[in-house]
Structure 1
Amino acid sequence: MGPEGKRLLNIIILGFGFMFMFTAFQTCGNIEQTVIKSFNSTEFHGSGYTSMAIIYGVFSASNLIAPSVVTLIGPQFSMFFSGLLYSGYIAMFIYPYTWTFYTASVLVGIGAAVLWTAQGNVLAINSSDRTIGRNSGIFWALLQFSLFFGNLYIYCAWHGHDHITDKDRRTVFISLTVISLVGCFLFFLIRKPEPPPASSSEVTESLLPTESLENSSDSSDPLSLCSQAVDAFVQACKMFTTREMLLLSVSIAYTGLELTFYSGVYGTSIGAMTRFGKDAKSLIGISGICIGVGEILGGGVFGLLNKSSRFGRNPVVLLGLIIHYLAFFLIFLNIANDAPLAPEAGTDLQAFITPSIGVALFCSFLLGLGDSCFNTQLLSIIGFTFRDNSAPAFAVFKFIQSIAAALAFFYSNYLLLQWQLLILVLLGFLGSTTFFMAEWAAEASRPQSDYDSI
């Protein structure tokens, strides 16, 4: 296998590792608010929305130090140990207590920052200007298979249940914990890529050396590693003030808000609709599957379009905005306004049309498809624009996204559906506009010979 084949294999392994981990974690996030409402314990007083707000709040703050951590221990060990924190959060639901719930939320927020910074680094050092779009699409598609498998399991396990028993909960979360641990150990199969020839256009990584995939102990002395760690933190702070990142920050924030909506709020809202019948709870799993199908389709198709289109990334982002606007309008018509805040018994209210399961699931598919439009293009443009400093760039990306997600999970405790949708509509428009400006700037700096290969 040649050097390019080894890099592609690393991307595939990376995608499978994240697929297993987030089969567990995204499924956990999708169902936890519903599960919490059904706890048969008076000692537990947690909120799934509050937990997610804590996770993303800590996540955002930790992103400023994540490049330093990845520099010190290497991306491979960074992803492994971060994955263990994710597994611990999921395992906590087997025997939940309020203090362990919120403590685990803090820890997984720290782990998430390190995990995604390391992922961005591995993606960058295994890609070139020619392959960054393809590799972003492959990784995104593999990652989003997590929504399919985890939620299919939830549907099969909870079909016909109008109440989630303690036994149901323990069985599900033991299984999810094991799945998450499998993903952690897959990261050890990633090998260090061969250094590219000096004359090629391969993506290089000046901040985190490729040898860090092996975590070689002889690559540098402790003082040098500390210096690199400090430099990583400084570069992450400086990245905020660059014109490119300021333009991209609005669209990144939008992905954080809609991440909250499709991963937590919308599934909870479907499960609260009593007019969907006694299988409303199991529909949460089907909704997650439909989101996953949209994400997988988008990751594959838009990754290829990103590679072959001469028109750049803007048409894909515009398509994503149109898809999301259609989804938001149909959700507004189909889902009761108080569904995100309804108690375990659900809501009997009706929106503007007779509630339709088909429309609800179609909207789930549209949410996933539109999300993949934005995220594949953001991964691609950041990997291209900041290819020489990918670790701090991806850290800033996740910092902005997680702040927005934390804010959205916080206001999800209080805002009715219509106001949440209005916020998404407004920020989606602004984010798309600023993305177009960033892409035009990237096109102006791109050599003419590269237009067919980005």
Structure 2
Amino acid sequence: MMPRHHSPLAQVLIISVVCFLCPGMFNALNGLGGAGQLDMHTTSNANTALYATFCIFSLAGGGIVNVCGVRYTTAISCLTYAIYTGSYIYYNKTSNGGLTILAGSILGIGAGILWTAQGVIMVSYPAEEEKGKFISIFWVVFNLGGLIGGILPFAINYYHSGTLTNSVYFIFVILECGGSLTALFLVPPASVVRDDGSHATIVKGHNAKRECLEVIRLFKNKWMLLLLPMSFTSNFFYGYQFSQYNGAIFTLRTRGFNNLLYWASQIIGSYVLSLLLDYSKWSRRRRGMYALIITGVSFNAVWACTLAVQLRYTRGGEYTDYPGGLIDFLETPRAAGPITLYFFMGMVDSWYQNIAYWIIGTLTNDAHITARYVGFYKGIQSMGAAVSWQIGAREIPFMNQLIGNWVLLILSLPTMAYTVTRVENWALDDQMLSSSPALDNDSIFNRSFGWNMSSTHIVKSSKKNEIII
């Protein structure tokens, strides 16, 4: 039975397909290392430009989505993915990376807005008891894009050892344009109705000036500041994993094969974690802490294994000094370990990303507030990614990059843990808030914490008929 078009599930499925066709295809290319190019400098510089503008437009994305809506902003944003992918066709013909770097900066604008809209739909539309499930649904469909997108270069380039062919890039452009058309089926947040008859958000008036002020206030929001390490770290490791690991020690077709495993593991990992995050017999705090412990221990185990591999080489690509040269997946004895490790890199990444969104989802159910929170998260995330890709472009020693990634991960865990221990106090009832005009967010939070918490909502206790914060 098909879900109602205006239901949270239908809208999450639509944005999932959009991200399947656009960010999913981008991930498939990026996961090859150098977007399928032998020379990775152009892609690293393009990604630096991409994430620099991504950072700016993620911070502004909440205001843009709130003022302009999710439908057309998402549809237009999808076209920037097609522009970026198409630039590699020009690069294959001319070896001039200028257009690709420019296209990367344009993509950053679109990606910042798209991911803000995605966060609003995925986190604020579902009911409290369905957040983990809806995050998992999105992550499964979205990563099918990386999985299927990885099949194309793997199959087409099976007997080809150079860069990706123009035909592969052209197919990706067509798929990304399809994502833009799919976005037109999205509806305004105020039109989304849950199965119990409640609306996903309250209809409010918004203007550009107010949204700018609300974004600025986020930098005084206690919980946003606590989540800065998590936000900065959450995509930082992609540069190393995609280029300095997958792109450095594997043949082109094996990089494609690894892509299949990486995104398949994301699907598996996301589903497994959703079972824990929505386990109704445990409190949200307990679920969150168990999920964070599993993620932290697993991530540290993966980086320890990565260190063992990294000790064997100092440079990658066709001039790699990895023992025996580039690894092909048919060389089973020497390929099994490094390929399996890459599989688990994808799995623990999905756990980290899922719990990050889950934490943000505990802050509010209001779609307008969520837009700002997700925009802030994606903005800081993109800042970290821009730094990461520029480190790769500047040829910082691989070992130094590995250590930097590992340290950042460890530093992000304490503030995530502290935040999770407070999630039970943040269950939002936005409908009750709208009917309680006498309560003043700013004054309550200023008295309680000494912080300006204007973007955080008051909540109704699930245990008592009282207002808590």
- TM-score, normalization: structure 1? 0.83
For residues 352-411 of structure 1, give each alpha carbon's deviation from its aligned partner in whole angstroms, at most 9, with x where no partner exists: xx9831111111111111111111111122122033311110000001100111111111
Distance 2:48 2:121 in 1: 27
Matched residue pairs, number? 411
2:336 aligned partner, one-letter code: G
Distance 2:333 2:388 in 1: 25
Distance 2:187 2:3 in 1: 13
Residue 431 of structure 1: which of 408, 412, 420 is its match? 412
Quote the offset at 1:449 in angstroms. 5.1
Q: Which residue of 1 aligns with 2:467?
A: none
2:62/2:116 contact within 8 Å kept: yes
1:7/1:127 contact within 8 Å kept: yes
Q: In the alignment, does 2:84 pair up with 1:89?
A: yes
2:16/2:139 contact within 8 Å kept: yes
Distance 1:259 1:177 in 2: 23
Residue 187 of structure 2: which of 188, 191, 198 is its match? 191
Tell me the C-alpha RMSD between the 2 structures: 2.8
SS in structure 1 at match of 2:278: helix
Distance 1:195 1:171 in 2: 40
Any residues of structure 2 matched to 1:338-417 within 5 Å, and which? 338=313, 341-349=315-323, 356-388=334-366, 389-413=369-393, 414-417=395-398
Distance 2:147 2:294 in 1: 23
Quote the offset at 1:261 in angstroms. 3.0
- CA, structure 1 residues 190+203, in 2 after alignment: closer, same or farther (shift >3 Å)? closer
- CA, structure 1 residues 324+183, in 2 after alignment: closer, same or farther (shift >3 Å)? same
For residues 95-138 of structure 1, give each alpha carbon's deviation from its aligned partner in whole angstroms, at most 9, with x where no partner exists: 22322111101100111111111112222442222222221121
Quote the offset at 1:200 in angstroms. 8.1
- CA, structure 1 residues 441+200, in 2 after alignment: closer, same or farther (shift >3 Å)? farther
2:132/2:277 contact within 8 Å kept: yes
Distance 1:326 1:379 in 2: 23
Residue 53 of structure 2: which of 55, 58, 72 is its match? 58
Q: In the alignment, does 2:276 pair up with 1:305?
A: yes
Q: Which residue of 2 aligns with 1:287?
A: 258
Q: In the alignment, does 2:168 pair up with 1:172?
A: yes
Q: In the alignment, does 2:213 pair up with 1:234?
A: yes
Quote the offset at 1:260 in angstroms. 2.8
Q: Which residue of 1 aligns with 2:423?
A: 442
Distance 2:73 2:22 in 1: 14
Distance 1:157 1:93 in 2: 17
- CA, structure 1 residues 270+426, in 2 after alignment: closer, same or farther (shift >3 Å)? same
In terms of mean alpha carbon deviation, does 119-128 or 441-450 score higher? 441-450
- CA, structure 1 residues 337+77, in 2 after alignment: closer, same or farther (shift >3 Å)? farther
Quote the offset at 1:202 in angstroms. 6.1
Quote the offset at 1:139 in angstroms. 0.8
Residue 296 of structure 1: which of 261, 267, 270 is its match? 267
Quote the offset at 1:333 in angstroms. 1.9
Quote the offset at 1:204 in angstroms. 2.5
Distance 1:362 1:2 in 2: 37
- CA, structure 1 residues 358+88, in 2 after alignment: closer, same or farther (shift >3 Å)? same
Q: Which residue of 2 aligns with 1:147?
A: 146
SS in structure 2 at match of 1:347: coil
Q: Which residue of 1 aligns with 2:401?
A: 420
Distance 1:109 1:337 in 2: 35
- CA, structure 1 residues 125+326, in 2 after alignment: closer, same or farther (shift >3 Å)? closer
2:23 aligned partner, one-letter code: F
Residue 250 of structure 1: which of 229, 232, 239 is its match? 229
1:256/1:403 contact within 8 Å kept: no
Distance 2:225 2:334 in 1: 41
SS in structure 2 at match of 1:415: coil
For residues 55-94 of structure 1, give each alpha carbon's deviation from its aligned partner in whole angstroms, at most 9, with x where no partner exists: 1111112223222322332111111101001111001111
SS in structure 2 at match of 1:257: coil
Q: Which residue of 1 aligns with 2:125?
A: 126
Instruction: Report sequence identity in percent.
Output: 18
Distance 2:322 2:357 in 1: 41
1:119 aligned partner, one-letter code: Q
Any residues of structure 2 matched to 1:192-231 within 5 Å, and which? 192=188, 194=191, 203-204=200-201, 228-231=207-210
Distance 1:115 1:22 in 2: 9
Unpaired runs of 5+ residues, structure 1, are 39-44, 210-223, 272-279
Q: In the alignment, does 2:295 pair up with 1:314?
A: no
Q: Which residue of 1 aligns with 2:303?
A: 328
Distance 2:272 2:344 in 1: 15
Distance 2:375 2:318 in 1: 37
- CA, structure 1 residues 426+345, in 2 after alignment: closer, same or farther (shift >3 Å)? closer
Distance 1:368 1:25 in 2: 16
SS in structure 2 at match of 1:106: helix
Q: Which residue of 2 aligns with 1:259?
A: 238
1:58/1:109 contact within 8 Å kept: yes
Distance 1:294 1:169 in 2: 27
- CA, structure 1 residues 427+381, in 2 after alignment: closer, same or farther (shift >3 Å)? same
SS in structure 1 at match of 2:114: helix
Distance 1:261 1:205 in 2: 42
- CA, structure 1 residues 2+84, in 2 after alignment: closer, same or farther (shift >3 Å)? closer
Q: Which residue of 2 aligns with 1:269?
A: 248
1:22 aligned partner, one-letter code: P
1:443 aligned partner, one-letter code: E
Distance 1:33 1:445 in 2: 42
SS in structure 2 at match of 1:312: helix
- CA, structure 1 residues 448+140, in 2 after alignment: closer, same or farther (shift >3 Å)? same
Distance 1:386 1:395 in 2: 14
Distance 2:135 2:47 in 1: 26
1:153 aligned partner, one-letter code: L
Q: In the alignment, does 2:155 pair up with 1:181?
A: no
1:125/1:205 contact within 8 Å kept: no
2:51/2:108 contact within 8 Å kept: yes
